[in-house]
Amino acid sequence: MKAMKCLDLFNTKFSRVVLGCDHFGETVPTDVAKKEMDLYIAKGGNVFDTACAYGQQVPDTPSTSEVVVGKHLKSLDRSSYIIITKGGHPPRSDFHHSRINEKSLKYDIMQSVDQLDTLPDWWLFHRDNPDIPAAELIDFANSYIDAGLLKNIGVSNWSVKRIEEANNWAAKHGKVQFSMSQLQFSLASCTKESWGDDTIEVMGDKTSTLDWYRKTKMPYTCFSSQGRGILQKLAEGRDLGKAYRFDLPVNRKLAQKVQEIAKRDNVSMTAVCLAFITSQDSNSMAVVGASSLKQLEETLGSSDYTLRKEDMDALFEIRNQ
């Protein structure tokens, strides 16, 4: 494998494949999680995505993910890796019960700093609360930067309209702006309705949101970047399992096209799906997770693969139908 593709951002190299640490210390046992981190680093990766809510049974309890990530990376040169974490996730029992409030956010920030045993490179609001002015949330996050408890800030599952409101306020008042975003984006199409959670932000089948990211050059990480393997499952007639969220008619057409490209280039369908994110003409990064070391090795095996422009155009044409 060639070197993993990178982006030059903020005078730092970011690997375009980000290691998702969602279930570390939980369904991914700690010893497996450590081996996955070591493998990822050996392959050239340096961006780790976690959250206060990952591996957390209920709000205001420890995050197994942050603990595992923090302890394992502790022995490395701090400048050699980038940690993105998030706070303010709603309780899993009710995604509409917002925790975007001062008490909950303060708890999550302090919990993350303590569990990671280092300052995260980026801290993101894990959800939005449109009832709160974006300016207030910028001011809140900036107060923690001023206190030396956060470095950089961003958002997860925010609309571009709200990001613009926040950053316009920040620019006008000399505040630190949001400089990182996370949303659902994959070659396999899905919607908030098919996902079953209208509090997430999905890169839709039209290009207006993507055009905004291209124009502003804001870096963004894409969760469920491989659509839980649905295109390969569809092509092979396998049970969809957890990929049910992507069970849309358009994905059957995409599966056929991806299978053709994979066969032509002698790569896996997984490689094509990953390349769809890492070949974007924007600052996109694909968050990948794995339940086993073998699965992660297979995912990273072709992380240098790049799709041709005509293939990207053809995939977008199908996706936008």
pLDDT score recorded for residue 134: 97
Tokens, residue 261? 């490209």
CA atoms of 151 and 263, how far apart (whole Å): 45
Q: Are 202 and 160 in contact (CB under 8 A)?
A: no
Q: What would the DSSP string read from start to end of 218-282? A: --EEEETTTGGGHHHHHHHT---GGGGGG--HHHHHHHHHHHHHHHHHT--HHHHHHHHHHTSSS
pLDDT score recorded for residue 61: 86
Tokens, residue 139? 């001011």
> pLDDT digit of tens for each residue in the chain (321 aa)?
578 999 999 999 999 999 999 999 999 999 999 999 999 999 999 999 999 999 987 888 899 999 999 999 999 999 999 999 999 999 999 999 999 999 999 999 999 999 999 999 999 999 999 999 999 999 999 999 999 999 999 999 999 999 999 999 999 999 999 999 999 999 999 999 999 999 999 998 778 999 999 999 999 999 999 999 999 999 999 999 989 999 999 999 999 999 999 999 999 999 999 999 999 999 999 999 999 999 999 999 989 999 999 999 999 999 988
pLDDT score recorded for residue 310: 98
CA atoms of 93 and 110, how far apart (whole Å): 23
Of 69, 65, 57, 66, which Cα lies nearest the Cα of 25?
A: 65
Please measure the distance between the N-terminal and C-terminal CA atoms of the chain and give it in whole angstroms: 35
Angle between helices 269-278 and 293-300 (to 10 degrees): 60
Q: Would you tell me how many other CB atoms lie within 10 Å of the CB of residue 117?
A: 13
Cα dihedral 211, 176, 15, 268 sign = negative
Cα dihedral 104, 109, 112, 115 sign = negative
Within 8 A by CB and 6+ apart from 147, the residues are none
The three-class DSSP label of residue 196 is coil
Query: SS in 3 state form for 21-42?
Result: CCCECCCECHHHHHHHHHHHHH
CA atoms of 43 and 301, how far apart (whole Å): 9
φ/ψ (deg, to 5) at 127: -150, 170
Q: What is the DSSP letter of 90?
A: P
Name all domains of the chain by residue range, CATH numbers in brackets: 6-229+282-305 (3.20.20.100)
pLDDT score recorded for residue 57: 78
Q: Are 16 and 6 in contact (CB under 8 A)?
A: yes
Tokens, residue 212? 């905004």
pLDDT score recorded for residue 1: 55
Q: Are 158 and 181 in contact (CB under 8 A)?
A: yes
Q: What's the one-letter identity of residue 153?
A: I
Of 182, 183, 190, which Cα lies nearest the Cα of 250?
A: 190
Of 170, 177, 315, which Cα lies nearest the Cα of 250?
A: 315
pLDDT score recorded for residue 204: 82
* Distance (Å) of CA 148 to CA 109, 113, 123, 145, 280: 12, 11, 13, 5, 34
Q: What is the DSSP letter of 3?
A: P
Place of tokens 């790569």: 267
